[in-house]
Amino acid sequence: MMEREARYQGLGRIGVVEVAATTPGPGQVRVSVQRCGICGSDLHAFRGRGMLPPSCPGHEMSGIIDAVGPGARGVREGDRVTIEPLSRCGRCRHCLAGDYHLCGGLQFLGLGLAGGMATHLLAPDYTAFALPADIDFELGALSEPTAVAVHSARLAGVRDGSRVLVLGAGTIGLLAAAACRHLGAGFVAITARHPQQRALAEALGVDQVLSPDDSGSVSETPDAVIETVGGEATTVSDAVYAVARGGTVVIVGLFEKTPVFEPLIMLVKELRLVGSMVYNRPASGGADFEVALDLLSSKAQVLRGLITHTFNLSNIQEGFETAADKKSGAVKVLIAPNA
């Protein structure tokens, strides 16, 4: 029996190869992948702006456990799951504190380890989160980017009545706006470049949608700014100028060069500049993935609107090209490996 998985085949090219069938080892599960999202980091590699992973990409996935390895706990065949794609040591001080995203031995499924753009995926048992009955595989594939957004909102200190500005209305930006509202924010603004992004932001109920060049015109001075653009943007500087004195700037976007901003403004306003590294399990409030699943359940209808395209594994090249071209109307593009 053979399985199929995607592999990068050079700049701007991705294809499918056949590999031998996998069997879960001790403490592992095998997942029949139903949906896997194309992330901005996948597109960075596709465009030649990042290292091409040596194995199958994809870290935003949902599926069905179809085999359980010896000693695997808390899982069984037939479980509908989403996968938190972090393999860690489980023994260091960071892992023991629930900050396993800071583990020195951290490995990512879909970056260093084989990921979910495949018919099957091997993953540690602790990475599997059960999908609630009201979340299908399409929404389930949004769990990972939603957890990224939840983590950023928590780092921003969002609570009841907070005022937040989100810079960028890609998938993470839109989900960050939704996460801020879910955590109680009283005012949420966002910058959006493309018409489909603006429409989705309005559907999410944000209070103000701004053009990217107009972030300084936010109607309420934000206590926190969440930056999700990255690349070569000036958004760190924009955030430092826009945020309130004593506020927090959280950086989520992947920058391709060192961003420029005014440290003097940061000093005078006594700001906190925080990097947001994926997701974890804080000491209180549950894992970011658990909060993400609650958010997806509560906002299922509108968040489903982020999913604009779905391709099967054989058409993955078209899927990546669509995701890379915002003129296509793409927001979140999914791959259906077993369709």
For residue 18, the SS3 value is strand
- Residues 56 and 110 occupy one common structural domain: yes
CA-to-CA distance for 304 and 232, rounded, in angstroms?
Answer: 29
- Residues 207 and 177 occupy one common structural domain: yes
Is 282 part of any domain?
no
- Residues 171 and 94 occupy one common structural domain: no
Residue 172 domain boundaries: 149-275
Is 137 part of any domain?
no
CA-to-CA distance for 286 and 106, rounded, in angstroms?
Answer: 21
CA-to-CA distance for 82 and 288, rounded, in angstroms?
Answer: 13
Per DSSP, 183 falls in state T
Mean per-residue pLDDT over the chain, rounded: 95
Q: Which of 239, 260, 275 is the last residue of a domain?
A: 275
What's the per-residue H, E or C state across 298-330? HCHHHHHHHEEEEEEHHHHHHHHHHHHCHHHCC
Overall number of domains in the chain: 2
- Residues 105 and 56 occupy one common structural domain: yes
- Residues 107 and 170 occupy one common structural domain: no
- Residues 123 and 63 occupy one common structural domain: yes
Residue 189 has pLDDT above 80, yes or no: yes
Is 140 part of any domain?
no
CB atoms within 10 A of CB 137: 21
Q: What is the pLDDT of residue 162?
A: 98
Q: What is the pLDDT of residue 56?
A: 95
Is 117 part of any domain?
yes
- Residues 159 and 224 occupy one common structural domain: yes
Q: What is the pLDDT of residue 52?
A: 73
- Residues 117 and 210 occupy one common structural domain: no
Mean pLDDT, residues 83-111? 96
Q: Which of 222, 241, 275 is the last residue of a domain?
A: 275
Residue 50 has pLDDT above 70, yes or no: no
